[in-house]
Amino acid sequence: MQKGQIRVQTENIFPIIKKFLYSDHEIFLRELVSNGVDASQKLTTLASLGETAAEVGELRIEVTLDAAAKTLTITDKGIGMTAEEVDKYINQVAFSGAEEFMQKYKDANIIGHFGLGFYSAFMVSDKVEIFTKSHKGTPGVYWICDGSPEFELYEVDYDQRGTKIVLHINEESKEFLEAARVRGILERFCKFLPIPIYFYEAGQEKPAEDKSINNPKPLWIQKPSDLTKEDYEKFYKELYPFNETPLFWIHLNVDYPFNLTGVLYFPKIKHSYEIQKDKIQLYCNQVFVTDEVKDIVPEFLMLLQGVIDSPDIPLNVSRSYLQGDPNVKKINAHITKKVADKLDEIFRNERSSLEDKWESLGLFVKYGMMTDDKFLEKANKFMVMEDTDGKFHTLEEYKIATEALQKNKEGRQVVLYTTQPIQQDAYITACKNKGYVVVKMETLVDAAFINTMESKWEQVSFVRVDADIVDNLIDKQETVDSVLTKEETEQLKELFTLQVADLHITTEVVGLSVDTDPVVATRPEFMRRMKDMGASGGGMTAFYAQMPDEVTLTINGNHPIFAGLLKEADETVKKNRVRSLADLALLSQGLLKGNDLTAFIKRSVTMMQ
C-alpha cells in the first residue's frame, strides 16, 4: 500500500480546478466518458499492431447512477492502468504551483489529457475512487482521494480489464444524482462518441433491449459516396427532431492543411429573419464541445445547422485568441468556399430548384454578399431577384432586360423594387405600364442589402416604386402640358396644402396622363431609407426615425375629376373632396393613421349619404 501527496506544491489546486477548469460543471461527465473512450480506442490500436495479448472483446462505456449511495460510476473496458501508470497520470501532476497550472493549461485542449480531464471529477465530488486493471495482466489497482492533496494507492483484486471511476457526489452537486439530468448530459455531449455508451440506474433491471444512448458512427465520418438522400435527411432528424426537411446540405471532408469533417444543412426559413435556436454543433473527435461557433463559421452562415468536427480548433480559449488563430481563419474561408460552390452548382445544374428555394436561400446569400467580399464575387453569378410576375433574374439578366428603359442620366442601371407588392400595387402597375421591370425586396435584410450593393455594384441604383411619380422614377422627364390655367393650378395647390400628424407634406401640380391617379403620394428614396434604417438599426441614423415622414403629393392637373371639383360652389364639399383625394393617396402609402384615419372614414360615410 502506498500513501502520499499528489505532487502539487500548493494545497489550493482543487479549489482552482473547481473554480477555473470549466465554466460548466456538467463537463466533468464528458471528460470522464471521453477518457474511457480514449482508453478503449488505444486498446484497439494496440491490438491491431500486435502489441497486446489481451482479447479486445466488446468495448463499451457504462455510466451507473446510484442515487441512494450518492455515487456516479463510469466504467470502461479499455487498456487500464498499472500502479506505476496511476502514479504517473494521476499523482504526478507535475506543476510547481497553482499559477503555473493555470498558465500551462488555460489555452489547452482538455479533451484527451487524462490527468487533467480526470481532475474535473473533483468539481462535483467529495471523494473519488479508481479501480483499474491493465491489459498487461498486472494486478488490479485501487486509488482514492478526498479532494485534498493526500491519496491512497494499493493493489486490489479487480479482475476486469479497464477502469472504473466512482464519484461520491457532493451536496452542492446533487443535481447530478438525478437520472434525467445525467442522461441529458450524456445525450448532449456524448451523443456521437465512437464507443457505445450505456446508462443504468442501480437497483433497476437492465432492459431486455439494451440500447446505447449514442450513435458511434455518425453520418459525417462516413464517405459521401456511401450515403443516400434519405441518410442525410434521417441524420438531420436525429439532430433536429422537430424541424422540417432541410433544403439541401454540404458534406465537409478536409485533411489538409487542417482536419475538418462535418455536414452543414440549409434549413427552411420563412420571410421573417427568424432567431436561430438550433445552432451548428462543434465536435472534437466526435466529442461535443459547444454550439457557440461564432468566428469558426462565417457570420452569414450562422443560420445554417449541422455539425463541424475538427481536432484543429482550439477549444478552451478566449474569443480574441480564436479570432487570430490561423487554422480557424482557414476553416472559415473553406466553409465559405464550399457553400458558394454548392450554390453555384445548383444554379448551373438545377436553376429551377434554386429558384423554388429562394425564399429561404435569399437570406443566406444576401447576408453573405454584404459581409464577405469573396462570397460576393461568386454570388454575383447565382444571386437572383424575383420580379412581380414571378420571373427570376440575375443582376446581369436584369441589366439586359432593362437596358433600354431603366438607365438614368448618369448611365446607372436603375433597379426598381417593391417592399410590399400588395400595398404598392398601384405604383407597380404604373411601372409595368411603362414597360419597367419591378423586383421584390420584401425581407428584413433587403434594406441593408440595397444600401450595401449600391456601394459594391458598379453603376447600379435602387429606387422603390413609390419614391416618385412613375414619370420621374428613372429620371426627371418632361411632363405633358397641363390643361389647367395658372390660376387653377395655384388654386389646387392651395386647396391641397394640408396638415397631417407626423407628416411633412410638399405639394406639386403637374400635367400627367389622364389615366394616372388624380393624386399620387410618394416618399423620397433617400429620406425613406434613412428613416427605415433608423427605425431598425439605430446608431448614427437613429435620429431620422424621430423625424416626420417626408411626403410629396403630386396632383395630376389633367385628371378630369378636377374640372368639376374646381367649379364646386359649396366650399365645405370642395374641401371634403380634396381631403378625401389626399387621404386616399396617403392611405396607399400606409401613412394615414390615428385621428386622420378615423376622420377619413367618417367623411367617406357622410359623402356617400
pLDDT in tens, 343-369: 999 999 999 999 999 988 888 899 999
Under the banding of pLDDT at 50, 70 and 90, the label for residue 89 is: confident
What is the pLDDT at residue 19? 55
- Condensed to tens digits (0 to 9), the pLDDT of residues 565-579 reads 888 888 888 889 989
- Measured at the CA of 578, the angle between CA 576 and CA 579, to 5 degrees, comes to 65
Give the per-residue pLDDT at 166: 97
Residues contacting residue 332 through CB under 8 Å, at least 6 positions apart: 295, 296, 297, 298
Please give the pLDDT value at position 379: 95
Whether 2-201 and 479-609 share one fold: the answer is no
DSSP state for residue 91 in the 8-state scheme? I
Q: Does the pLDDT of residue 253 top 50, yes or no?
A: yes
348 against 296, higher pLDDT: 348
Domain ranges of the chain: 2-201, 219-334, 479-609
Say which CATH topology domain 219-334 has.
Ribosomal Protein S5; domain 2 (3.30.230)
Measured distance CA(282)–CA(150) in Å, rounded: 37
Give me the pLDDT at residue 324, please: 61
| Prediction pTM value | 0.76
Residue whose C-alpha cell is 497520470: 89
pLDDT in tens, 195-241: 999 999 988 877 777 889 999 999 999 999 999 999 999 999 999 98
What value does the mean pLDDT of the chain take? Answer: 84
Supply φ then ψ for residue 494, to 5 degrees: -70, -40
The C-alpha atoms of residue 439 and residue 418 are separated, in whole angstroms, by: 6
Q: Name the amino acid, one letter, at 164.
A: K
CATH hierarchy code of domain 2-201: 3.30.565.10
DSSP state of 79: -
Tens of pLDDT along 405-453? 999 888 889 999 999 898 889 899 999 999 999 999 988 788 889 999 9
68-98: string of b/e by CB count within 10 Å (b at 16+)?
A: eebbbbbbbbbbbbbbebbbebbbebebeeb
pLDDT at 318: 47
Per DSSP, the three-state class of 187 is: helix
The reply to whether CATH 3.40.50.2300 applies to domain 479-609 is no
Write down the pLDDT at residue 192: 94
Per-residue pLDDT for 100 more than 60? no
